[in-house]
Amino acid sequence: MKILFVGDIVSRPGRRVLEKHLKSLQKKHDIDFTIVNAENAAHGKGLTPKIFNQIIGFGADVITLGNHAYAKEEIFEIINDEKIVRPINLTTSKMGKGYRLFKVLDKTILVGNVCGEAFMHNVDPDPFIASLEFVNAKADIKIMDLHGEATAEKVAYMHYFKNDFTAILGTHTHVQTADEDIFNGCAYISDVGMSGPYESVIGRDIDEVISRFVGNEQTYYTVSKNEAVLCAVVIEIDEKTNRASKIERIQIRP
Ligand code: FE2
């Protein structure tokens, strides 16, 4: 079983790069199931029904979200869709589901989404307590999208849950880390990285962000229009043990 996980799609450049590469990546790596984090897909924050359909149309099997899950009001029109998984532990809404079960080949795959607590707003309970529900749920394979800011929190989370989950994949920072590995049969990376404007400040317009840091100016954090990088990982899962045997990092720069 091979699973592709694509990191945070940022706005139109991210959607474009996904459309450009997804089908060929699925073919090249013989992918059985594709998860896409799309919490920044609509103008840099949130998701709309139109963009949800677009990303599913490109070939995603399930979309995960993050701290901006409810940034666009239209999300409530699709939040109960069986292909959307929102964070288990955001206090802003309890609509939709924090994990969902999928049948792929002869296996059941549970896909979850949890927010880290460090430097993040509206998160309660913390990801460790919030994920106990996911531990107790029944499935052959369990994949958690760990949407968090701090690497220490993410690494600690992985060691706490490595025997329970098949993969723990970090999202949110938009910067791909090079620490992918298998720990006791659990595939891990601190951050998959974003699929969004490459020459940018984590997806945002460079000059605008600098004017905020240097000139203390009020900004809207406009999304950069530059060409996008695509960041993803491919996970291989042993058919007999249901444990991860390999994780491969992918980064396609413009
Ligand atoms: Fe985020």
Tell me yes or no: is domain 2-252 CATH 2.60.40.790.
no
Cβ proximity of 9 and 44 under 8 Å: no
Q: What is the pTM of this model?
A: 0.98
Average pLDDT of the chain, as a whole number: 97
Query: Which residues have beta carbons under 5 A from ligand 1 (an ion)?
Result: 66-67, 172
- Label residue 216 by pLDDT band (50, 70, 90): confident
pLDDT of residue 186: 99
User: pLDDT at position 221, please?
Assistant: 78
pLDDT of residue 253: 98
pLDDT tens for 156-175 read 999 999 999 999 999 999 99
Q: What pLDDT was estimated at residue 6? A: 98
Look at residue 94 and tell me whether its pLDDT is greater than 90.
no
83 by Cβ neighbours in 10 Å (0-12 / 13-18 / 19+) ranks as middle
Would the pLDDT of 215 be above 90?
no
| Per-residue pLDDT band at 220 (split at 50, 70, 90) | confident
User: Can you give the chain as a three-state secondary structure string?
Assistant: CEEEEECCECHHHHHHHHHHHHHHHHHHCCCCEEEEECCCCCCCCCCCHHHHHHHHHHCCCEEECCCCCCCCCCHHHHCCCCCEECCCCECCCCCCCCEEEEEECCEEEEEEEEECCCCCCCECCCHHHHCHHHHHCCCCEEEEEEECCCHHHHHHHHHHHCCCCCEEEEECCCCCCCCCEEECCEEEECCCCCEEECCCECCECHHHHHHHHHHCCCCCCCECCCCEEEEEEEEEECCCCCCEEEEEEEEECC
Domain edges within the chain: 2-252
pLDDT over 70 percentage in the chain: 100
Which residues belong to the active site? 68
CA of 68 to the centre of ligand 1 (A): 6
d(CA 238, ligand 1 centre) in Å = 31
Distance 145 CA to ligand 1 centre (A): 11
237 CA to centre of ligand 1 in angstroms: 27
Q: How far does residue 44's CA lie from ligand 1's centre (Å)?
A: 10
Phi, psi of 192 (to 5 degrees): -65, -30
In this prediction, what percent of the chain has a pLDDT beyond 90?
96
Q: Which helix (H) or strand (E) holds 227?
A: none
Residue given tokens 């790596």 in the structure block: 29
Q: What is the mean pLDDT of residues 67-92?
A: 97
CA of 65 to the centre of ligand 1 (A): 8
Question: Sorting pLDDT into bands at 50, 70 and 90, what band is 206?
Answer: very high
Q: Kindly state the tokens that stand for 219.
A: 């900004």
Ligand 1 centroid to Cα of residue 228, in Å, is 18
- Averaged pLDDT, 68-83: 97
